[in-house]
Structure 1
Amino acid sequence: MDIGLKGRQAVVCASSQGLGRACALELARAGCSVVVNGRDQATLERTADEIRTETGAEVIAVAGDVTTRAVQDALMRAVPRVDILVNNNGGPPLRDFRDIDREALLAGVVGNMATPIELVQRVIDGMVERRFGRIVNITSATVKMPIARLDLSSGARAGLTGFLAGVARSVAHANVTINFLLPGAFETNRRRTNERTTAERRGVPIETVQQESQAAIPAGRYGDASEFGAACAFLCSAQAGYITGQSLLIDGGAYTGIL
């Protein structure tokens, strides 16, 4: 299926691995020039080479922490225009809310709410002027189903969702969409890190935590990053212009609510 993205230019934050990488790969497959980003230079360059080899697309690597002004500037300079922005960033570690001091609280809000908003501010007017723009914000299933010890992540991402909800409606007339992807349990490094933390806290093997987690998912498994990347690419497609302000939960049926 041609999703109408050939020649488009995309910036995908925190895309050297995991779900961000999957989004960058699918956009490259669809014909986009893609700017990838990550903190570790070696991992980022390896990812960029792999995506180039697999897709033949132009892939530009911008290393660094996306919460900093310098890296945001570099991302914006990497391509002549930004048609597609995928906001992504690692979340705060598992932690009891009592242990979150003011510094950690502010860092979580900056990383998972303020930074995506700043990037939207930078690209939105150009998108409106060109009458095409796709913004996808990777948040979390915990926005709809909060989990203890991930309170800071849930709160910051829910704040981002609320902030951009009105923005999405204000630019829909210009064929600019803003949507949210809410991943549940996917096979990623972050999940494995959280599982190790949980296993150590409970004093059980990590395999026990993994088995219990997967048993609680109606699909009976963790998600594959490629499934997530495909959903991201569709929300960025020409055919998705009538979808905006929506939170798409991708969790194998784990969330049992109807709204």
Structure 2
Amino acid sequence: MDLGISGKTAFVAASTGGLGLAIARALAAEGAHVAITGRRHIRAKEIVAELTDAYGPGAVAIEADLSTPDGVAAAVGQTVAELGPIDILVLNGPGPKPGAAATLSTDDIAAAFELLVKPHHALISQVLPGMRERRWGRILAVGSSGVAAPLPNLAVSNTGRAALAGYLKTLAAEVALDSVTVNMLLPGRIATERVAELDQAAAKRRGTTVEDIRLESRKTIPTRRYGEPGEFGAAAAFLCSAPASYITGVALRCDGGLIRSL
């Protein structure tokens, strides 16, 4: 299938590792010009070299602190200057610390919005007007299966991601007539550094081994395995594609059947 995004400009937030990198690789493989963004500039340059070797020129490294409005504006401005107007915006970022809902502080609640809502809103505010003017755009947020069913001991994440989902669902209806789609892709247990950190934290908290935690986790997944980053990236690339133009306002799970509702 031709995804119809060759030559499109994609800004992938936090793409020097994990799910962001998996999405960036999948988009580059389809011919998109990809901005690799993050605070690890040397790592971003290494990824650009990798993508250039595999697919030819078209990727750039953007050193970015997306936690501040100025950082967002600078990263978007540099991307537009080097690659052109942004057609595909992938919202992604680090997950907050684990913790129980009963122990959340007021600062924890504020942190949920600071980390999981405000930076994404700032990026959309910078990019969306151009998408609407050109009457083509894809906004995709990397969420969590906790949006569909809140996950134990991830209260801050559950709170912030649910708020983001509400904002994006509202936005999707407002921009649909401008041929801009807005979706979320919800990972389950994908084999990334973030999931490894969560497994290690769970093992320490429960006084057991990481392998025992992983075995227990795999038993809850119908496919009996963790997902591969490349599988997640492929799903993301499709949601950012031209053939996916009639899919908007959707939270799609990529979780091996972990969440048992439809």
TM-score normalised according to structure 2 size: 0.94
- Answer yes or no: is the 8 Å Cα contact 2:91–2:120 preserved in 1: yes
Unmatched segments (≥5 aa) in structure 1: none
Match of 2:44 in 1: 44
- 1:197 deviates by 0.7
- Answer yes or no: is the 8 Å Cα contact 1:3–1:239 preserved in 2: yes
Match of 2:206 in 1: 202
**Separation in 1 of the partners of 2:9 and 2:252?**
23
Matched, 1:112 2:119: no
- Answer yes or no: is the 8 Å Cα contact 1:28–1:57 preserved in 2: no
How many aligned residue pairs are there? 258
Q: What is the RMSD computed on CA atoms of the aligned residues?
A: 1.3
Matched, 1:29 2:29: yes
Match of 1:67 in 2: 67
Moved more, 179-188 or 124-133: 124-133
C-alpha distance after superposition, 1:207-258 (max 9, x if no partner): 1001111111000100001011111111111111111000001100111113
What is the 5 A alignment of 1:139-150? 139-150=143-154
- 1:99 deviates by 4.2
Match of 2:18 in 1: 18
- Answer yes or no: is the 8 Å Cα contact 1:13–1:38 preserved in 2: yes
TM-score normalised according to structure 1 size: 0.95
- 1:100 deviates by 3.6
Unmatched segments (≥5 aa) in structure 2: none
- Answer yes or no: is the 8 Å Cα contact 1:63–1:71 preserved in 2: no
**Separation in 2 of the partners of 1:152 and 1:251?**
20
Match of 1:242 in 2: 246
**Separation in 2 of the partners of 1:56 and 1:89?**
27
C-alpha distance after superposition, 1:160-190 (max 9, x if no partner): 1111212111111121100000000000000
**Paired residue secondary structure (2:259):** coil
Residue type of the alignment partner of 1:108: A
Residue type of the alignment partner of 1:194: L
**Separation in 2 of the partners of 1:228 and 1:57?**
24
**Separation in 1 of the partners of 2:174 and 2:23?**
26
